């Protein structure tokens, strides 16, 4: 019998049975973070009487209503956004592996139901229960307020992460009723979602809430509190609010806060080392073994930054001088050494994307892979299957992971016929990992674990294969990083992901 009415700890929910899969949408996992709860850690949801309709997605977190990356979200955003969605073969007692997805979007955009995040294929082909969720974004999720509002708001810079932890607690307590195993939970995410997972691996409050993790194209995990406070002060000055007028920030209309936030560089508001919820640099916590013995997949895409260059309307017109000027501005005192390395070839737009891809995503992901592999089983991948225009751009692996052949109204995410084999490979590797804590599946060549001594990497392409140390620019980035030659406080970077 296929049951779509499920009893949670807070009340009954009724979903739908679609294409052989049971789906529940818009289930509240926390109280609406509105009014006096703005900038506060999430509270448990209220219970309800009767059967709650779970056939419609909840509203997305506050964010720009229109974006080239997320499409048009007009009328679908709200501060009341803490909802999750579930796909399951059936609400029975089978105790299936659970996969919890944390979406990307630079910590300022996205939701758990953006077109590509459809758990049907995972549930149907993999006998897996899929959960997707919303969390607070931008200033609502990551505005560090301790310096102006006191201890009550000491964790406000990580509300978005605390939302994710609240969702994981809800899953741990309720997912058995939906056919899932609360003791076999994999968290996975991309970009800001991947950075979120890096932080969750390090955060004491997340310990025990999941069993394994997949990190797709992460950035630097967190910024320090001084940098976060500086951004907060700029924001309240822009809004005309004095430091002793915190109540005005609570009462400010949500759309005005979003509008003001848009004047800042992307990812200004992101996780903060607040010395409470993140007690120290998460990289240091990981080095000390915070994620010990947790199986992990880490990977990045060959041409990550091509997506961002394509979104810059002037990039196509850049000549060599403009490329060099941008790179010098970006890297400051590190640029002469980088220039010496890369000037052996022509420094053109392709080289620019190559440099920025490593800087923004590839090197951070590889570095965390190395750190994690010292105490946990880790598998590393490099996604190299090329889109005809943008190459293996940032997020282009998503439709392959989710086995989503096309996404309505977004031609960028469409699997070509020659990519169907790759989609099957990646999809089933992720399914195998959810079941076994190991991504090896019949559909792929044998994928050995990653160790620093040999650096085995699965290169996902039209003909996937294992290569050893395929990151051609790795050593120059290690050299730059070890010498700490980045001026980390320099402002106006093109991409602030790597800064402190």
Render pLDDT for 246-256 as a digit per residue (tens, 0 to 9).
Answer: 999 999 999 99
Q: Note whether residue 62 is domain-resident.
A: yes
Question: Are the beta carbons of 3 and 90 closer than 8 angstroms?
Answer: yes
Q: Note whether residue 336 is domain-resident.
A: no
What percentage of the chain has pLDDT greater than the value 70? 93
Q: Is 191 a catalytic residue?
A: yes
Q: What angle do CA 122, 126, 131 make, to 5 degrees?
A: 40
Which of 385, 364, 346 has the alpha carbon at shortest distance from 478? 364
Name the band, by pLDDT with cuts 50, 70 and 90, for residue 496.
very low
Q: Note whether residue 497 is domain-resident.
A: no
Q: Note whether residue 276 is domain-resident.
A: yes
Q: Note whether residue 331 is domain-resident.
A: no
Q: Is 304 a catalytic residue?
A: yes
Which of 367, 359, 311 has the alpha carbon at shortest distance from 335? 359
* H/E stretch holding 170: helix 159-174
Catalytic residue among 156, 191, 277, 384: 191
Q: Note whether residue 212 is domain-resident.
A: yes
**Pairwise pLDDT comparison (66 vs 171), residue with the higher score:** 171
Q: Note the pLDDT of residue 71.
A: 52
Cα-Cα-Cα-Cα dihedral sign, residues 329, 312, 221, 430: negative
CB-CB neighbours of 47 under 10 Å: 9
Q: In 111-157, where does DSSP find H-type helix?
A: 120-126, 138-142, 146-149
Name the band, by pLDDT with cuts 50, 70 and 90, for residue 489.
very low
pLDDT over 60 at 99, yes or no: yes
Count structural domains, the chain.
1
Catalytic residue among 60, 225, 394, 397: 394
**Pairwise pLDDT comparison (67 vs 103), residue with the higher score:** 103
**Pairwise pLDDT comparison (490 vs 484), residue with the higher score:** 484
pLDDT tens digit sequence for 149-193: 999 999 999 999 999 999 999 999 999 999 999 999 999 999 999
Catalytic residue among 79, 304, 386, 397: 304
Q: Is 373 a catalytic residue?
A: no
Question: Are the beta carbons of 264 and 234 closer than 8 angstroms?
Answer: yes
Q: Cα-atom radius of gyration of the chain, to the nearest Å?
A: 22
Q: Note the pLDDT of residue 392.
A: 97
Q: Note whether residue 495 is domain-resident.
A: no
Q: Note the pLDDT of residue 148.
A: 93
Domain that holds residue 414: 5-309+359-483
What is the arithmetic mean of pLDDT over 85-112? 96
pLDDT tens digit sequence for 293-310: 999 999 999 999 999 999
pTM as predicted: 0.95
pLDDT tens digit sequence for 327-367: 999 999 999 999 999 998 889 999 999 999 999 999 999 99
Question: Are the beta carbons of 282 and 202 closer than 8 angstroms?
Answer: yes
Token representation of residue 114:
């953006």
Q: Note the pLDDT of residue 495.
A: 43
Q: Note whether residue 273 is domain-resident.
A: yes
Q: Note the pLDDT of residue 406.
A: 73
Question: Are the beta carbons of 7 and 21 closer than 8 angstroms?
Answer: no
Which of 298, 305, 283 has the alpha carbon at shortest distance from 358? 305
| Rounded Cα distance, 420 and 154, in Å | 48
Q: Note the pLDDT of residue 407.
A: 72
CATH of the domain at 264: 3.40.50.1820
Question: Are the beta carbons of 486 and 330 closer than 8 angstroms?
Answer: no
Q: Note the pLDDT of residue 484.
A: 56
CA distances from 53 to 49, 118, 198 (A): 12, 19, 34
């Amino acid at each position: 019998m296929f049951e779509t009415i499920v009893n949670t700890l807070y009340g009954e929910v009724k979903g739908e049975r679609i294409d052989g899969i049971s789906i529940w949408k818009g289930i509240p996992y926390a109280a609406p973070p509105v009014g006096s709860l703005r900038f506060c850690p999430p509270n448990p949801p209220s219970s309800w009487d009767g059967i709650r309709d779970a056939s419609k997605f909840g509203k997305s977190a506050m964010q720009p209503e229109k974006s080239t990356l997320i499409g048009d979200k007009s009328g679908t955003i709200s501060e009341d956004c803490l909802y999750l969605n579930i796909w399951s073969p059936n609400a029975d007692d089978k105790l299936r592996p659970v996969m919890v997805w944390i979406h990307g979007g630079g910590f300022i955009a996205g939701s758990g139901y953006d077109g590509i995040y459809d758990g049907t294929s995972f549930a149907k082909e993999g006998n897996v229960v899929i959960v997707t969720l919303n969390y607070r974004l931008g200033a609502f999720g990551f505005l560090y307020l301790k310096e102006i509002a006191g201890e009550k708001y000491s964790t406000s810079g990580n509300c978005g992460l605390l939302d994710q932890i609240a969702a994981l607690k809800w899953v741990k307590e309720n997912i058995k009723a939906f056919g899932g195993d609360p003791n076999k939970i994999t968290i996975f995410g991309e970009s800001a979602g991947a950075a979120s997972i890096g932080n969750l691996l390090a955060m004491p409050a997340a310990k025990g809430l999941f069993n394994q993790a997949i990190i797709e194209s992460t950035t630097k995990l967190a910024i320090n509190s001084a940098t976060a406070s500086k951004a907060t002060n700029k924001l309240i000055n822009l809004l005309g609010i004095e430091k002793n007028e915190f109540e005005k920030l609570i009462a400010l209309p949500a759309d005005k806060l979003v509008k003001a936030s848009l004047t800042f560089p992307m990812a200004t508001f992101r996780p903060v080392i607040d010395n409470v919820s993140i007690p120290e640099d998460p990289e240091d916590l990981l080095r000390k073994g915070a994620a010990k013995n947790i199986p992990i997949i880490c990977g990045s895409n060959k041409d990550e930054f091509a997506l961002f260059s394509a979104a810059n309307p002037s990039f196509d017109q850049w000549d060599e001088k403009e490329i060099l000027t941008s790179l010098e501005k970006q890297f400051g005192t590190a640029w002469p050494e980088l220039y010496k390395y890369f000037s052996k070839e022509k420094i053109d737009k392709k080289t620019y994307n190559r440099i920025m891809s490593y800087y923004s995503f590839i090197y951070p992901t590889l570095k965390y892979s190395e750190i994690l592999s010292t105490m946990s089983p880790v598998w590393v991948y490099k996604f190299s299957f090329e889109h005809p225009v943008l190459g293996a751009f940032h997020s282009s692996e998503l439709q392959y992971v989710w086995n989503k052949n096309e996404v309505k109204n977004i031609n960028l995410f469409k699997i070509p016929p020659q990519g169907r084999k790759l989609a099957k490979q990646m999809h089933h590797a992720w399914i195998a990992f959810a079941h076994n804590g190991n991504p090896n599946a019949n559909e792929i060549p044998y994928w050995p674990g990653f160790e620093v001594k040999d650096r085995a990497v699965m290169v996902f392409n039209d003909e996937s294969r294992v290569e050893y140390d395929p990151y051609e620019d790795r050593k120059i980035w290690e050299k730059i990083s070890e010498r700490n030659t980045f001026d980390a406080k320099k402002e106006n970077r093109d991409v602030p992901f790597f800064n402190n």
